[in-house]
Structure 1
């Protein structure tokens, strides 16, 4: 019954996105749609890639072998080696310190970062995740990243089609004793995404992430081999326990991604993945997502009259 209610609500509020999620969980559908779009837009893609190459000296990522990066992303489902400049990290952190964030990604639960304890008292629970809205519009450093020629070149090559920037999200994850409901809601259990027929995301740590302290964890290669512990798992999208994943995949493929502030990587989050709840230090993460089509489901844009602060 809950699944039926979710389906009915999705078809009412976002019919295109909901129908895509039903179809795109099947590999043959993803491949067919991707191939069709590639053929329709081949010349536009070539022009777009040439334009990116003409501007490639303006990228903030100076030491990336872009061809190898795309190959790794295709083969492993993830690619590593991006590093934000220190001044860009500092600029985004300043934005985060000066701008309200919103508990549970709820536009009605805004608070200043220094008021987190008061916000938790008002809500009557610890805050696991707090997101910023309108980050691209309000933070010039993030806006610059969304136009970086290397990121767009990688997106075009990986998607085999002119890329669509479908979402930018900036959020904190705090070291709290979160409920199982909150851990599930905020994807701190293993899962895979179905955001389009082909898509991927760039992730950037804006704070240091040590082993066991809020790292993103992905199962390399699992975009090609989703867990099928039962027949239904071939088409049902659900959460998986750590034990299920450890029993399904070799230990060497379960990769905990750590690094200092500025560390960046890309991932096709059709791969099995999760965010680890921090144990000591809050984690600030920036996500930039590219896909074939924009269903309006991934962006962080909100009108000012939709946002409100908690009365604290």
Structure 2
């Protein structure tokens, strides 16, 4: 049931975002807004692509066939084949080792990840997810990735418009006995995102991710085939049980995405997807997101003066 008080409070704080969330669940509205945004940006669109192409030899992914990549993303809502250079991976890891991370994404619950067990003792519960703040500003490798010409070119082609970078997030997922409340809070149940009228994300594994060790799980091509299990599900945004999704989609379309450190892929997370809880090894993942509009909700920017350790 919708909590009216929460909706009204959210609307007061960010009316544009709340209005979008209500409207963007309808495919026709998404298409109209996306087309209108593209038309308004048509003069800037080709120059943007040309600028990306001129810089393509500077890309970390210059050897990836970008035409095949964008075709896969358009067809399936998923595209694979990215790999971070070793030097970039090392720089991000070093940043993660030497920088406080924040339990449950709360600015007053910082700790160094190597001291996670001590932080859990202070907090009084297992820490399923812990996120870094200001990672793009403080980590040069992440800043370079955000401006990579391959990533920007694909973003423009997929969005049909000059893309808007709306945020990046770097976070650990730990092998803990987490409560259902924490799993729900941190999206470890199947769901769809409605972050804009058109948007997508890049994901990069910063640690090795094997089966049952925190792999991202996505249902291929489910943007155009949302699960209709209960009345109104084609428009509703809710959590789904494993049995609901396993019973609705062919097993071959439910992908547990594994890979060695550095593995990257793109996904429109309007697809049905979920995070999974590692069994024995923690997972470190970087997410970079582009969209049509920036509602200020997807970034990791925080005032350093407001950050504190537990």
TM tier, shorter chain?
over 0.9
Q: Which residue of 2 aligns with 1:261?
A: 261
| TM-fit CA distance, 1:259 | 0.3
Structure 2 regions of 5+ residues with no counterpart? none
Q: Output one character per residue of 1:266-304: Cα deviation in whole Å (capped at 9) or x when no partner.
A: 000000000110011100000000000000000000011
User: Within 5 Å, which residues of 2 pair with 1:146-161?
Assistant: 146-161=146-161
| TM-fit CA distance, 1:228 | 1.1
* Contact 2:102-2:111 at 8 Å conserved across structures: yes
User: Could you say what secondary structure the match of 1:33 adopts?
Assistant: helix
Matches of 2:235 and 2:10, distance apart in 1: 18
Matches of 2:107 and 2:51, distance apart in 1: 38
TM-score, L = length of structure 2? 0.99
| TM-fit CA distance, 1:180 | 0.3
Q: Which residue of 2 aligns with 1:293?
A: 293
Matches of 2:55 and 2:36, distance apart in 1: 28
1:31 counterpart = 2:31? yes
Matches of 2:21 and 2:265, distance apart in 1: 25
**Deviation >2 Å, runs of 4+:** none
1:88 counterpart = 2:88? yes
Q: Output one character per residue of 1:30-73: Cα deviation in whole Å (capped at 9) or x when no partner.
A: 00000111111112110000000000000011321101111110
Q: Which residue of 1 aligns with 2:237?
A: 237
User: Could you say what secondary structure the match of 1:176 adopts?
Assistant: coil
User: Within 5 Å, which residues of 2 pair with 1:160-175?
Assistant: 160-175=160-175
RMSD: 0.8
Q: Output one character per residue of 1:152-209: Cα deviation in whole Å (capped at 9) or x when no partner.
A: 0000001000000001100000000100000000000000000000000000000000
* Contact 2:165-2:291 at 8 Å conserved across structures: yes
Matches of 2:11 and 2:152, distance apart in 1: 31
Q: 1:6 to 1:236 in 2, by over 3 A?
A: farther
* Contact 2:62-2:150 at 8 Å conserved across structures: no
Matches of 2:2 and 2:273, distance apart in 1: 24
| TM-fit CA distance, 1:75 | 0.6
1:182 counterpart = 2:186? no
Q: Which residue of 1 aligns with 2:17?
A: 17
Structure 1 regions of 5+ residues with no counterpart? none
How many pairs align?
A: 310
User: Within 5 Å, which residues of 2 pair with 1:47-62?
Assistant: 47-62=47-62
Matches of 2:84 and 2:9, distance apart in 1: 39
Matches of 2:129 and 2:13, distance apart in 1: 24
| TM-fit CA distance, 1:2 | 5.3
Matches of 1:174 and 1:103, distance apart in 2: 11
